[in-house]
Amino acid sequence: MPASVTISRRPAKTSPATDKRELILRAAIKLFANRGFFHAQVADVAREAGIAAGTVYLYFENKDDLLISIFERTMEQAMEEGRQALTHVSDPIERLRVLARLHLARLGEDRDLAVVFQVELRQSIKFMERFSSTLLQDYLRAMRDAIADAQRAGQFRQELSATFAAKALFGALDEMATNWILSRKRYALAGQADDVVDLFVRGMTP
Amino acid sequence: MPASVTISRRPAKTSPATDKRELILRAAIKLFANRGFFHAQVADVAREAGIAAGTVYLYFENKDDLLISIFERTMEQAMEEGRQALTHVSDPIERLRVLARLHLARLGEDRDLAVVFQVELRQSIKFMERFSSTLLQDYLRAMRDAIADAQRAGQFRQELSATFAAKALFGALDEMATNWILSRKRYALAGQADDVVDLFVRGMTP
Amino acid sequence: MPASVTISRRPAKTSPATDKRELILRAAIKLFANRGFFHAQVADVAREAGIAAGTVYLYFENKDDLLISIFERTMEQAMEEGRQALTHVSDPIERLRVLARLHLARLGEDRDLAVVFQVELRQSIKFMERFSSTLLQDYLRAMRDAIADAQRAGQFRQELSATFAAKALFGALDEMATNWILSRKRYALAGQADDVVDLFVRGMTP
Amino acid sequence: MPASVTISRRPAKTSPATDKRELILRAAIKLFANRGFFHAQVADVAREAGIAAGTVYLYFENKDDLLISIFERTMEQAMEEGRQALTHVSDPIERLRVLARLHLARLGEDRDLAVVFQVELRQSIKFMERFSSTLLQDYLRAMRDAIADAQRAGQFRQELSATFAAKALFGALDEMATNWILSRKRYALAGQADDVVDLFVRGMTP
DNA sequence: TATGAATGAGCCTTCATTCAT
DNA sequence: AATGAATGAAGGCTCATTCAT
């Protein structure tokens, strides 16, 4: 199972343009994580990426677009990864487990990215809504579907709303991620995925 | 039980200074919730409060202090309320239920305050750390203690860490609050407290 | 001669109003000297004087008026003192000596006052012009007259302009005062009066 | 002799950056002289220089830095000029004369600069100390050394401290400069250098 | 007289974005 | 494509002054 959870960086289509975009996004993740979105200046991001400030605007609309692009790029990769990992997993409970592991593994392997996702992306209702209408539109749906499947299969109690249950599970995972970035202790975030799912599965079992 | 959960605003010590402070904080909550902390101007807050911009600085150090004060004032009230509500509740599981209800009830009765807590206060690692070193220092401890009590009483399984379980429970509740403010549907947030606790209690039951 | 130079504080007409005015001026001298005119706030002066901020405006027009009043009060006292000290001194050179001693003695006995005179009063052309059109209108005239007398008496060369000479003498004394306040060493400023006058008298002697 | 006193503006290294810096400094001198440092706004300086307000901050730290830079740039030029002018002058008294002429010539040829030096730079003890620890550290030392040389050569009396004498001479020159800017009459400031030095030399002659 | 809370005009500084090169 | 100097709007904060009590 661990194999299916391993995050496999697909060899990106390495056009020069894609490379530079990527370079800038990585610099942005680092800066946003360490200084905060508002306090990180576009010029700082450019310097970190080793380019001129103006060049950023050849690849991104504006500063907000940097944050949004970090989100979208990461979500796309995660979704693709999720799809692949779930291809041959049919048991609903196992599917939940895979999703949870991927979720925490991705954040746990890049603390800066985790900070951007757990903190900076929640700057404002505006981002939150964008965030929640896609991440929770897709990720939560995947969870909800798995839960509903388990309910239909009699593995889970049926009186609880699958949507509600998915939110609760997501919330617990999300809290683990937030706690991890705020904690001074260095532990493996992904290791908590199974514990959370176990707790949840027991809570749902008839 | 509902009685003990009802939030009773104590008649504040109405010195003129306290009144004005309160007036400003309420205006700040409204503005921060609707425009976001960064986009709300101090002058806007003052106008909303019906005072001059400079007056804000007679009661608060700076703009950040407004946000911090909203947090601290609310936490103090919540803590006091929690202490009172728990005075005569000895069953650990019931204590969790009371805490969860109070948590969601407080946010659910003031959407602006909820937005400030669920979104604006998580602007930056700086606030997050402050937030988490007090809220989670006190609130999570209360939950963890109740869980540990339940474990000792044999009501909960003992192999899971009480701290971990408290985080999971908090995360689920927190997610309910965040979903509530982002949702266009108007439903009673507090109504979800029992569902979350039930799910969790089942998950912890031996 | 020292006796005539001794500064004798006349017992001020101690009406309550005069007292409070004086109290405020003393506070202002202290604050202006230590923080600078622009950085000293009216509220600070009031606090130092032990009164409320608004009360300052019962005795002075505005903040500038405080500075101007310090100047005028001090000049009046100095002029009166000068007149008295010169009453029985007829020798022109001796008169110069008395003026120089009084000048440096007054500043030398109150460092804060000296700072206000040597630094703060020279804030702006506006103050400078006011300063120079009265202080130098009266003080320099007294020096110039003594020099002219000495020229007529054949004690001083006649080819130099008395006005020019008076400025040079004043400039040298002024520099001693400025150096004194900027120096970390604590020496008697008044002790330099005779040296300056000696140097000058020799320079003027035929 | 006049030749050595003539101020020869070296053609500045005209890099674009140096040019703009210079442009801003000149605008600042004009504004500070005419409105005073505190009343001149950075935006005014920028407008006078024909640039945007923000551009000032590409060349200077802050508003104070403008004032300090005017001082430092002028002092550097003056020091260099002084060194050059004194290269072939060995007679101590003549050296004093050259220094005095340069001092008054520089101020006398640019009234705005003179106002900044005689008035605005003496705003506060802070600037005064910076001013005096460099200007008087270098300029007064040059005068003191010349005086000491003259004393050793028997041209000047030896009982007076060279440091004291240098201050007196500086004070007299400084007063000429201050009087000049405050006077409505337009006369050649530099023309007074020799008169001051003459008076002083006579005063020092055995 | 005295108070001190309230006022609000004013200004320095930042920084996302543009654009001539 | 890339640069980076220049822009200029925007806003937090200060503090002299007022005035109801």
Contact B132 A202 (CB under 8 A): no
Spatial distance between the Cα atoms of B10 and B13, rounded to a whole number of angstroms: 9
Nearest CA to B117 out of B192, B184, B189, B185 is that of: B189
pLDDT for B1 equals 36
- B25: in domain: yes
Any CB–CB contact under 8 A between C156 and chain D?
no
Please state the rounded mean pLDDT for residues C175-197: 95
Spatial distance between the Cα atoms of D86 and D94, rounded to a whole number of angstroms: 9
Residue C159 pLDDT > 60: yes
Q: Return the partners of chain C (3 or more C-beta pairs < 8 Å).
A: D
Could you tell me the two tokens for A107? 């954040």
- C51: in domain: yes
Q: Which residue of C has its CA nearest to D181?
A: C125
D50 φ/ψ sector (left φ>0, alpha ψ -120 to 50, else beta): left
**Together in a domain, A93 and A179:** yes
Domain span at C119: 63-204
**Residue where a domain terminates, one of C6, C39, C60:** C60
Q: Which residue of C has its CA nearest to D166?
A: C172
Cβ neighbours of A174 in B, within 8 Å: 171, 174-175
Among D122, D168, D202, beta carbon nearest to C175:
D168
Cβ neighbours of D38 in C, within 8 Å: 38, 123-124
Could you tell me the two tokens for D92? 């101590």
- C200: in domain: yes
Residue A18 CB lies within 7 Å of the nucleic strand F? no
Nearest CA to C144 out of C104, C193, D164, C152 is that of: C152
DSSP letter (8 states) at residue C124: S
**Together in a domain, C40 and C76:** no
Spatial distance between the Cα atoms of B74 and A175, rounded to a whole number of angstroms: 21
Nearest CA to A112 out of A150, A85, A74, A139 is that of: A74
Could you tell me the two tokens for A111? 């603390």
Nearest CA to C63 out of C47, C34, C42 is that of: C42
Spatial distance between the Cα atoms of B143 and B167, rounded to a whole number of angstroms: 9
Could you tell me the two tokens for C65? 């008026």
**Together in a domain, A36 and A68:** no
Spatial distance between the Cα atoms of D150 and B85, rounded to a whole number of angstroms: 92
DSSP letter (8 states) at residue D121: G
Taking CA C43 as the corner, what is the angle to CA C39 and CA C48, rounded to the nearest 5 degrees?
95
Spatial distance between the Cα atoms of D167 and A154, rounded to a whole number of angstroms: 100
- Name the residue type at position D141: R
Spatial distance between the Cα atoms of D177 and D179, rounded to a whole number of angstroms: 5
Which range among C102-106, C114-118, D182-186 shows the weakest confidence by mean pLDDT? D182-186
Could you tell me the two tokens for D169? 């001479």
- Name the residue type at position C195: D
Pair A113, A29: CB distance under 8 Å: yes
pLDDT for B9 equals 44
- This prediction has a pTM of 0.87
CA of B42 to C1' of F13 (A): 10
CA of C27 to C1' of F14 (A): 21
- CATH number, domain containing residue A85: 1.10.357.10
Helix-strand-coil split of chain C, %, nearest 5: 75, 0, 25
Nucleotides on chain E that have an atom closer than 7 A to a protein CB are 1-20
Query: Which residues of C in 100-159 have their CB below 7 Å from strand F's atoms?
Result: none
Taking CA B176 as the corner, what is the angle to CA B175 and CA B177, rounded to the nearest 5 degrees?
90
Nearest CA to B96 out of B178, B188, B10, B202 is that of: B202
Among C124, C167, C201, beta carbon nearest to D119:
C124
Spatial distance between the Cα atoms of A164 and B194, rounded to a whole number of angstroms: 12
**Together in a domain, B55 and B139:** no
Q: Who has greater pLDDT, A13 or A204?
A: A204
pLDDT for D13 equals 53
Any CB–CB contact under 8 A between D196 and chain C?
yes
Spatial distance between the Cα atoms of A28 and A33, rounded to a whole number of angstroms: 8
Spatial distance between the Cα atoms of D204 and C195, rounded to a whole number of angstroms: 12
- C25: in domain: yes
CA distances from B97 to B143, B169, B178 (A): 10, 11, 19
As for how many domains chain B has, the answer is 2
Spatial distance between the Cα atoms of A188 and C56, rounded to a whole number of angstroms: 65
Taking CA B123 as the corner, what is the angle to CA A190 and CA B197, rounded to the nearest 5 degrees?
55
Residue C73 pLDDT > 70: yes
**Residue where a domain terminates, one of A25, A44, A60:** A60
Cβ neighbours of D128 in C, within 8 Å: 119, 178, 182
Nearest CA to C120 out of C48, C32, C5 is that of: C32
Pair C92, C75: CB distance under 8 Å: no
pLDDT for A13 equals 55
**Together in a domain, B52 and B71:** no
- D9: in domain: no
CA of C54 to C1' of E8 (A): 17
- CATH number, domain containing residue B22: 1.10.10.60
Tell me which residue has tokens 């069953």: B91
Among A38, A119, A165, beta carbon nearest to B199:
A165
DSSP letter (8 states) at residue A189: T
**Together in a domain, B157 and B193:** yes
Please state the rounded mean pLDDT for residues A85-95: 96
pLDDT for A116 equals 94
Tell me which residue has tokens 């050059």: D84
Question: Which protein residue lies nearest to nucleotide E2, measured between its Cα and the C1' atom?
Answer: C55
CA of B54 to C1' of F21 (A): 21
- D111: in domain: yes
**Together in a domain, A89 and A120:** yes
Contact A124 B126 (CB under 8 A): no
Q: Which residue of A has its CA nearest to B118?
A: A122
pLDDT for C93 equals 97
pLDDT for D48 equals 96
- D1: in domain: no
Any CB–CB contact under 8 A between D184 and chain C?
no
Q: Work out the minimum CA distance from A5 to partner chain B, whole angstroms.
A: 22
**Together in a domain, C85 and C154:** yes
Mean pLDDT of the residues in chain B: 90
Contact A132 B179 (CB under 8 A): yes
The helix/strand/coil state of A97 is: helix
Nearest CA to A181 out of B119, B104, B122 is that of: B122
Any CB–CB contact under 8 A between C192 and chain D?
yes
**Together in a domain, A133 and A161:** yes
Q: Work out the minimum CA distance from A185 to partner chain B, whole angstroms.
A: 14
**Together in a domain, D89 and D180:** yes
Contact C160 D129 (CB under 8 A): no
Q: Return the partners of chain D (3 or more C-beta pairs < 8 Å).
A: C
Please state the rounded mean pLDDT for residues C156-176: 96
**Together in a domain, A92 and A51:** no
> Which residue ranges have CB below 7 A from strand E?
A 39-43, 53-54, 56-57, 62-64; B 16-17, 20, 51-55, 57-58; C 16-17, 20, 51-55, 57-58; D 39-43, 53-54, 56-57, 62-64
206 residues of chain D, pLDDT tens digit each:
333 444 444 444 567 677 899 999 999 999 999 999 999 999 999 999 999 999 999 999 999 999 999 999 999 899 999 999 999 999 999 999 999 999 999 999 999 999 999 999 987 777 788 777 777 688 999 999 999 999 999 999 999 999 999 999 999 999 999 999 998 889 999 999 999 999 999 999 98
pLDDT for D6 equals 44
Nearest CA to B172 out of A44, A184, D150, A168 is that of: A168
Q: Return the partners of chain A (3 or more C-beta pairs < 8 Å).
A: B
Question: Which protein residue lies nearest to nucleotide F7, measured between its Cα and the C1' atom?
Answer: D52
Cβ neighbours of A126 in B, within 8 Å: 36
Spatial distance between the Cα atoms of B111 and B177, rounded to a whole number of angstroms: 10
Nucleotide nearest to C57 (CA to C1'): F17
Could you tell me the two tokens for C4? 């005539």
Nearest CA to C177 out of C164, C187, C163, C166 is that of: C187
Nearest CA to D164 out of B127, C180, C182, A131 is that of: C180
Q: Work out the minimum CA distance from A203 to partner chain B, whole angstroms.
A: 3
**Together in a domain, D156 and D194:** yes
**Residues contacting D196, CB < 8 A, separation 6+:** C168, D100, D169, D172, D173, D176
Spatial distance between the Cα atoms of D6 and A158, rounded to a whole number of angstroms: 100
Give the pLDDT means over successive 10-residue stretches in chain B (206 positions).
Answer: 42 68 96 93 96 96 95 91 95 97 97 94 80 80 96 95 96 96 92 97 94
Nucleotides on chain F that have an atom closer than 7 A to a protein CB are 1-20
- B8: in domain: no
* pLDDT category of residue C14 using cuts at 50, 70 and 90: low
Nucleotide nearest to C53 (CA to C1'): E4
Contact D172 C171 (CB under 8 A): yes
Tell me whether residue A33 is exposed, middle or buried, using C-beta atoms within 10 angstroms of its C-beta: 0 to 12, 13 to 18, 19 or more: buried
Contact C164 D192 (CB under 8 A): yes
* pLDDT category of residue C132 using cuts at 50, 70 and 90: confident
**Residue where a domain terminates, one of D29, D60, D91:** D60
**Chain-centroid distance, C-alpha B40:** 22
